[in-house]
Structure 1
Amino acid sequence: MNDKVRYPIGNFEPIRKFTDKSRKHIIDQVPGIAKSLRESVQYIDDEQLHIPYRKGGWTISQIIHHLADNDMNAYIRFKRALTEEEPLAGSYREDAWASLHDYADLPLEDSIMLLEILHKRFYTLLCGLDPDQFRRKLQTEVLGTISLDTALQRFVWHGQHHIAQITSFQASQGSQLE
């Protein structure tokens, strides 16, 4: 499998030494994720929404609903890390969730609106935290024990990663954004 297709912006690599300025830069990207997602699907037709972005991959529709599920989970994990000592961030079977009927039955607009509202809340939470709070930790299956600085970077990377999959798919289909 071509990693450039699966990971069009590359694998996640956290910045270990974070300054307040670089943290603010990452935080300021949160509200734009849903906007970029909305723009990325603006010219995709209904048929294309149900085509996998790569062989063996999810459809564009599944990616969008997955982003809503993932970001809800990430928000809860973040809040738990702010209120508990190094909580274990629960994981979920993304592939199984993507096969549930709500991914096929719900309009994409529902998940995009959910993301807009959720990101507004998350942004408000993030802007009110002091630098020490970003050093709090949580335990994950994929990354091990991480700080909230790393969780924040991963959150933004994850949104950009899936948006890049969608725009790469569009380019391969000849339906570029205008």
Structure 2
Amino acid sequence: MENTQNLETLKFPIGHFTKPDLISEKDIKNWIETIEMFPSKLKNTVSNLSAEELNWKYRPEGWKIKQVIHHCADSHINSFIRFKLALTEDNPTIKPYDESKWAELIDGNCDDISSSLLILEGVHTRWTMLLKSFDTSDLAKTFIHPESKKTYKLKEIIGLYAWHCNHHFAHIEQALMHKGKF
């Protein structure tokens, strides 16, 4: 039982995302700040890592640091597009993707993380600009995720992606702390 709990802690070092029952303006502001700061926080932590360090895993059977970075670029591109779809269409159905398969493609498993860091910097700059412009009606706009068959409001997705930034940053810190010894 303890081994299962330990693996869960390694997989979710900051816990699972929990949407507050009531999302306040302060929550939104803090989440946007987390999204805004993520690329520089990430770059400061990973830009001087060696190829060996970039290949360290954060847990048994988990991704390597480089895959986490490439995944964040892929995921955040998709999220930015989903936000724009929700802002310009009436409750669109978004397109899911298989993140595990994407992480195994050559660009998701490459030791050169510079392009993904640049993607994150550019996407987060534009995403933050967009998020900071939201009014109450924008925060209430929605999209449908076909896998869960649920409708999500943009205000809760802002929180999810702030969590996503912190979640994967914690994975990288975990891999570095354990020197990839999993």
TM-score by length of 2: 0.89
- 1:96 is matched with 101
- 1:68 is matched with 73
Q: Structure 2: how far apart are the matches of 1:6 and 1:158?
A: 12
Tell me, yes or no, if the aligned pair for 1:31 and 1:120 is still in contact at 8 Å.
yes
The reply to whether residue 160 of structure 1 matches residue 161 of structure 2 is no
- Compared CA separation, residues 157 and 97, structure 1 to 2 (3 A): same
- Compared CA separation, residues 74 and 172, structure 1 to 2 (3 A): same
Tell me, yes or no, if the aligned pair for 2:54 and 2:111 is still in contact at 8 Å.
no
Q: Structure 2: how far apart are the matches of 1:34 and 1:15?
A: 25
Q: Give the aligned residue type for 2:120.
A: L
- 1:9 is matched with 14
Aligned residue pairs total 174
Question: Counterparts in 2 of 1:38-77, with a 5 A limit?
Answer: 38-42=43-47, 44-77=49-82
Q: Give the aligned residue type for 2:117.
A: I
Tell me, yes or no, if the aligned pair for 1:31 and 1:119 is still in contact at 8 Å.
yes
Superposed CA RMSD: 1.7
The reply to whether residue 136 of structure 1 matches residue 155 of structure 2 is no
Tell me, yes or no, if the aligned pair for 2:54 and 2:64 is still in contact at 8 Å.
yes
Q: Structure 2: how far apart are the matches of 1:28 and 1:69?
A: 20
Q: Secondary structure at the match of 2:144?
A: strand
Name stretches of at least 5 consecutive residues in structure 2 with no aligned partner. none
Q: Structure 2: how far apart are the matches of 1:99 and 1:157?
A: 24
- Compared CA separation, residues 163 and 142, structure 1 to 2 (3 A): farther
Q: Which moved more, 1:138-147 or 1:66-75?
A: 138-147
Q: Secondary structure at the match of 2:143?
A: strand
Q: Which moved more, 1:19-28 or 1:54-63?
A: 19-28
For residue 31 of structure 2, the aligned residue among 18, 21, 26 is 26
TM-score by length of 1: 0.90
Q: Report the CA distance between 1:43 and its aligned residue.
A: 5.3
Q: Structure 1: how far apart are the matches of 2:86 and 2:77?
A: 14
